[in-house]
Amino acid sequence: MKVIVIGCNHAGTWAVKTLKAVDPSCQVVTYDRNDNISFLACGIALWVGGVVKDPKGLFYATPESLKDEGIEVHMGHDVMKIDWANKKLHVKDLKTGKEFEDNYDKLILASGSWPITPPIEGLKQEGTAYGLKKGIFFSKLYQQGQEIIEELKRPDVKKVMVVGAG
């Protein structure tokens, strides 16, 4: 049996590790857009606030450690389309631009959530990484935590506002 997991942050990482632990003969494959896995986003506030000094503590697996467990890991890959009837994925390697198909017997969607952009006038700006004006950040991904920390190092930053605190 071949199981593909789309997304490999906390839920996806835990899914692939559990699948391999329960059935070592299962072929387990994961695709993720990012270049890191198993990030515990709930720790961003602790990291930004200086409680967690080393952000490596917010990860509990690496692509290499999953490969050592027999899991096929594809980082920097975007699943563009799912053909539900034929159990196929259309995948794009974001580094090379190469597109290909992969098939599965079972599929797990662990693509996570995305912050809601509040309907505040002037908040959005086209052409930026996340569609937000300069100095406004989402706090979801490891890379966003890094951006927030770098912004806070600037001497002209005097105040910070947090909107939403789930």
User: Edge-to-edge, what's the strand order for the sheet holding 106-109?
Assistant: 71-75, 27-32, 2-6, 106-109
Burial bucket for residue 107 (CB in 10 Å: 0-12, 13-18, 19+)? middle
Note whether 30 and 97 are same-domain residues: yes
Note whether 9 and 42 are same-domain residues: yes
- Structure confidence by residue, pLDDT tens digits, 115-130: 778 888 888 888 777 7
The pLDDT of residue 100 is: 98
Q: State how far the Cα of 60 lies from the Cα of 55, in Å rounded to an integer.
A: 11
Residues 6 or more apart whose Cβ sits within 8 Å of residue 110: 5, 6, 7, 8, 9, 11, 12, 15
Which residues, given as ranges, of the chain have pLDDT below 70?
165-166
Rg from Cα positions in the chain: 18
Domain count, the chain: 2
Note whether 27 and 54 are same-domain residues: yes
The SS3 call for residue 16 is helix
The pLDDT of residue 165 is: 63
pLDDT more than 90, % of the chain: 52
The pLDDT of residue 76 is: 95
Note whether 119 and 102 are same-domain residues: no
Model's pTM, two decimal places?
Answer: 0.81
By residue range, what is the domain housing residue 139? 114-155
78 within domain boundaries: yes
Residues 6 or more apart whose Cβ sits within 8 Å of residue 15: 5, 108, 110
The pLDDT of residue 129 is: 74
Note whether 86 and 13 are same-domain residues: yes
Q: State how far the Cα of 5 lies from the Cα of 38, in Å rounded to an integer.
A: 13
Query: Which residues does the annotation mark as catalytic?
Result: 10, 42
Residues 6 or more apart whose Cβ sits within 8 Å of residue 120: none
Residues 6 or more apart whose Cβ sits within 8 Å of residue 72: 27, 28, 29, 30
